[in-house]
Chains A and B, each alone.
Chain A
Amino acid sequence: MSQYRLSYLEQLESESIYIFREAAAQFDKPALLFSGGKDSITMVHLARKAFAPGKIPFPLVHIDTGHNFPEALEFRDKLIQKLQATLIVRKVEDTIRIRKLTEPKGKFPSRNWLQTYTLLDTIEEFHFDCCIGGARRDEEKARAKERVFSVRDEFGQWNPRLQRPELWNIYNGRIHKGENVRVFPISNWTELDIWNYIRKENIELPNIYFSHEREVIEYEGQLVAISDFILPSVEDKVVTKKVRYRTVGDMTCTAAIESNAQSVEEVIHEIVATRISERGATRIDDKVTEAAMEDRKKNGYF
């Protein structure tokens, strides 16, 4: 901050803290959706700042697809311990078993779509009336049109045509019983903003965000890590490369990028120079149709 003007990162931070506090004040049972990625970790950092010196006044909820990076899980557990926060984990695997859902097939069997079922069940189980998520409007076209306080009907569905106008800094979180609100405190941040903030605040991240050697399959121009969930077939080209992850979702739907960036500073340089967007480089799940994200959101996805 110069004498009396906030820098853009300070403005973004303050706005996010304001939104966190609105969520905590307006709802009976909020929850913070935690995926283990850098956006989630930044969200937790912001939430901690919003309520300091008190603790984060709501639980963190992880919808676990079972396809996580082990590094991300390990990091999650250490973070929770450090913050003395409450963590609720609900597994997609259990939902598949109980609801007799059909497991996705194919080369990259992503359970991403099925997460919606587990999320909606978890909302019902704990009577959450507000789920705070780390979606950013710059990620994807359908997200660019979503409100900060986004009302979902009792089926968890988003109706883009019936969104409430959201004016000034006023967030209308009034809902009927059974409905819930998704709150997105970092709506106005970009990938670069997140990294600049991580640098400014010295936020710790799982090491898979930085350059490391890994065995990957080269598939249609994307590098997919070999794991328990993705096994190479005969025709696959398996190579060992220096890679890092730009986003961390499931091992089945997140691709790595080739990178030598070992520090936050180097990652920022890399992002500034890149010509490929975050989701474009790394998400195997968005490419199905042009409106893939819009369809998932309408069905109750994050």
Chain B
Amino acid sequence: MDLLRFITAGSVDDGKSTLIGRLLYDSKNILADQMDALERSSKNRVNGSVDLALLTDGLRAEREQGITIDVAYRYFTTSKRKFIIADAPGHIQYTRNMITGASNASLIIILIDARHAVVEQTRRHSIIASLLKIPHVVVAINKMDLVDYSEHIYNEIKNEYSTVAVQLGLEDVTYIPISALNGDNIVNKSSAMEWYHGKSLMKYLEELETGQDVNMADARFQVQLVIRPQAEHLHDYRGYAGKVISGIYKKGDKVKILPQDTDTTITAIEIDGNEVEHAVFGQSIVLQLADDIDISRGDFIVKTDNLPTLSREPEILLCWLDDKPLIRGNKYWLQHNSRVVRIVIKDVKYKLDVNTLQRHPAEEDIKLNEFAAATLKISTPLVFDSYTRLKENGNAILIDETSNSTVAAVLLQ
């Protein structure tokens, strides 16, 4: 059994929370007491029937205003998979939440209201999905019950969206007509839409093949911390703890330490203090090396025959996440996995309109939820891969030096 992380995106009232509630409910992942609580709060509010959206709206302000403020994470398990859902709000001002939720997702469900077809937010969410390289897209055409389960309307929306998908280079797109409210095509195939021959949403989620999403070619490992036990029998022990970002490591591999540019060999790979033969993408391990080299947190251990990029002036695409705008010439911290360096934003090249993908001259400040291309300046070289090639080693955040807030999502180019 494996793990699939996905995100749901749609505009306000497209029925995201209802869809998640439905997935949890129909897969029997909502339990009796949670249902009771739901019925109680549904009655506290005006509408009569049970409001599945209340399942995901956790904070008081959200329940009072009937909106979702923050990314919420939900979990459900079927006999095939464990799922983690990031539920990101649809409001325009909350683009940053969508990016947060999307950053770890390997699939996005974009909800479209069958009555309104492709709207500005659909485009925005799709553009973000393409920028963040989410490998799989499901276009869930919702509220089919309100358009008499019309195949014609489904096809129109499908055609309209295909144009968007082609423009954005979205490769794996699947269309499913649903009614989250009534449960059509969620877990079971809907009898109201016999013209639809595809899978139900749940069946699609359970059977999606994700093996190709993993990068096994480029071996990347970044040191999180150095383990030096202060124990008698482990006197000379030095282990480099970290998570394999991508690829495979084996005992005996010839490796290079970056940015120092020193060569050595892996003498042992350990998990829980025990030696293993190899370690793969996603595993938290400890490496031991043949030579005594000065290595600290944030340094890379890569194979000598496959090297990442080193640059003091990396080009980036960023999405601004803070209320305070980006100030050119200000210094920020850049955190790239476990490495934190001071940077200056040397040059903002253009602003990217996330509704049209058009580039605009960046004369003004870059504000909350805006995308921009920029060049950074760093005193020591950053070791990375382009986000397009290897997203696990191509992402970073910017941190405001004075407030310590995370102010930007960074895609290294």
Contact = CB atoms under 8 A, between A and B. Distances in A.
Contacts of A274: 31
Contact of A141 (B58, B75, B243, B281): B58
Contacts of B243: 14, 17-18, 169
Contacts of A161: 69-70
Interface in A149-199: 151, 160-161, 163-170, 172, 174-176, 187-188, 190, 192-193
Interface stretch (A4-12, A243-251, A254-262): A4-12
A50 B228 contact: no
Interface residues of A, number: 62
A24 interface: yes
B60 A291 contact: yes
Contacts of B74: 138, 144
Given A54-B229, A167-B103, A144 B31 contact: no
A25 B338 contact: yes
By size class, the interface of chain B is 35 or more
A288 interface: no
Contacts of A166: 100, 406
Interface of B is mostly: mixed
Given A25-B297, A141-B58, A167 B2 contact: no
Nearest to A45: B272
B406 A167 contact: yes
A24 B56 CA distance: 32
A164 B33 contact: no
Contacts of A25: 224-225, 297, 338
B185 interface: no
Interface stretch (A69-77, A125-133, A276-284): A276-284
Interface string B51-68: 000001111100100000
A156 to B, nearest CB: 17
B97 interface: yes
**List of 10 A-B pairs having minimum Cβ-Cβ separation, nearest first:** A141-B58, A280-B33, A52-B273, A54-B229, A17-B284, A8-B3, A167-B103, A53-B273, A275-B32, A174-B404
Contacts of B302: none
Contacts, number: 183
Given A165-B97, A168-B104, 13 more contacts: A5-B2, A14-B283, A17-B284, A18-B224, A18-B243, A50-B241, A51-B241, A53-B231, A138-B74, A170-B337, A170-B397, A190-B77, A276-B33
Interface of B: 1-3, 31-34, 37, 41, 56-60, 63, 69-75, 77, 81-82, 84, 96-97, 99-100, 103-104, 211, 214, 216, 224-225, 227-231, 234, 237, 239, 241-243, 248, 270-273, 280-284, 286, 297, 321, 333, 335-338, 392, 395-397, 399, 404-406, 409
Contacts of A29: none
A49 interface: yes
A8 B1 contact: yes
Nearest to A162: B405
Nearest to B35: A275
A151 B34 CA distance: 29
Contacts of A55: 229, 231
A205 to B, nearest CB: 19
A175 to B, nearest CB: 6
Contacts of A144: 56, 58, 72-74
A244 to B, nearest CB: 18
B225 A24 contact: yes
